């Protein structure tokens, strides 16, 4: 299987000879959501304007997008390319910055829409299902640290995942994490405080039903997100407070307390408790709104 990452730049830069993966992407785009009715295909998700189909034989995941209508959509497509082209560029940029996202295998574009073929991660499980099956305390601690490290690497790479939740993260056989939804990846100059807290709050909302997600597990997650866990507790508290309560804009150094402040560690722990209280309240409000909306639609 050969990768054609150069197809993300434009459909004209793709190879002239149609590969089996490119032909399958065109077929999925032409068949629509009913493409999963064919053998060896699984419909992963579907929406009015896009659908995702996995092909286990070729080892690809095809994300197909309908063509947008309207004058603004036409201008955007002419300037930045179709939806699949834009997503492929974002995926390649994230891979260039060292993030674990799938490889782009092919990009197709025609009058019906566009499609993107990504490498399939074999025997992978969703992060939510994987976390629910953990029975060992050691595995839980390792999982908490790995998820926090992944989110920290994403933010340090100046990538903002606007749709970062447990369903968009897969765990392979080796236990490595992968981001599988490149639609929500945004390359930014810096990841602001509001966006960082939003990502953490979304994860907290997904795993709020886990009985073992105690206060110590949450604190372990935050300290792993802040940096080196081998440092003293006061330094970790300062790093975490700086990482989550200061907007790290380019050219502006984050504010720090004086090294001689004897109340620094206490101030850091108090800030952690306040931060978790804010995130927990926001998560409960979001969950209540979601349950009310789901109840009204039934």
102 and 181: one domain?
no
| Nearest-angstrom CA–CA distance, 88 and 238 | 38
pLDDT band with cut points at 50, 70 and 90 for residue 32: confident
Tens-digit pLDDT profile for residues 109-157: 888 888 899 999 888 888 878 887 877 777 777 888 888 899 999 999 9
- The residue-averaged pLDDT of 58-78 equals 77
Q: How many CB atoms lie within 10 A of CB 218?
A: 19
Yes or no: say if 42 and 35 are a contact pair by the CB < 8 Å rule. no
- The residue-averaged pLDDT of 237-241 equals 53
pLDDT band with cut points at 50, 70 and 90 for residue 105: very high
- The residue-averaged pLDDT of 216-244 equals 62
181 and 210: one domain?
yes
- Total domains in the fold of the chain: 2
Q: What is the CATH number of the domain that holds 67?
A: 3.30.200.20
Identify the H or E element spanning 178: strand 177-179
214 and 109: one domain?
no
| Residue finishing a domain among 99, 119, 139 | 119
Tokens representing 288 are 């209540």
pLDDT band with cut points at 50, 70 and 90 for residue 67: confident
Domain of 103 in residue numbering reads as 5-119
Yes or no: say if 179 and 173 are a contact pair by the CB < 8 Å rule. no
Query: How do the residues of the chain divide into helix, strand and coil, expressed in percent and rounded to 5?
Result: 50, 15, 35
| Nearest-angstrom CA–CA distance, 154 and 35 | 33
């Amino acid at each position: 299987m050969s990768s054609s990452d150069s197809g993300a730049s434009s459909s004209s830069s793709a190879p002239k000879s149609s590969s089996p993966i490119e032909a399958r992407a065109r077929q999925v785009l032409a068949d629509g959501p009913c493409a999963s009715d064919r053998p060896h295909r699984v419909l992963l998700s579907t929406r009015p304007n896009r659908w995702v189909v996995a092909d286990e034989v070729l080892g690809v995941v095809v994300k197909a997008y309908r063509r947008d209508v309207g004058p603004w959509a036409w201008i955007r497509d002419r300037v930045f390319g179709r939806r699949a082209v834009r997503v492929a560029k974002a995926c390649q940029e994230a891979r260039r910055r060292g993030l674990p996202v799938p490889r782009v295998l092919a990009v197709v574009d025609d009058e019906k829409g566009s499609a993107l073929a990504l490498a399939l991660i074999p025997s992978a499980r969703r992060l939510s299902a994987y976390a629910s099956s953990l029975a060992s305390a050691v595995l839980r601690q390792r999982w908490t640290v790995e998820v926090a490290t992944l989110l920290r690497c994403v933010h340090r790479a100046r990538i903002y995942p606007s749709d970062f939740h447990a369903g968009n993260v897969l765990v392979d056989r080796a236990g490595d994490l992968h981001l599988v939804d490149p639609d929500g990846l945004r390359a930014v100059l810096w990841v602001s405080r509001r966006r960082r807290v939003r990502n953490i709050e979304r994860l907290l909302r997904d795993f709020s039903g886990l009985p073992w997600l105690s206060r110590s597990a949450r604190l372990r997650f935050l300290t792993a997100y802040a940096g080196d866990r081998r440092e003293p507790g006061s330094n970790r508290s300062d790093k975490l407070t700086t990482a989550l309560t200061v907007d790290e804009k380019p050219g502006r150094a984050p504010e720090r307390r004086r090294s001689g402040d004897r109340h620094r560690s206490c101030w850091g722990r108090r800030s952690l408790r306040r931060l978790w209280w804010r995130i927990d309240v926001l998560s409960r409000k979001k969950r209540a709104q979601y349950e009310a909306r789901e109840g009204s639609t039934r």
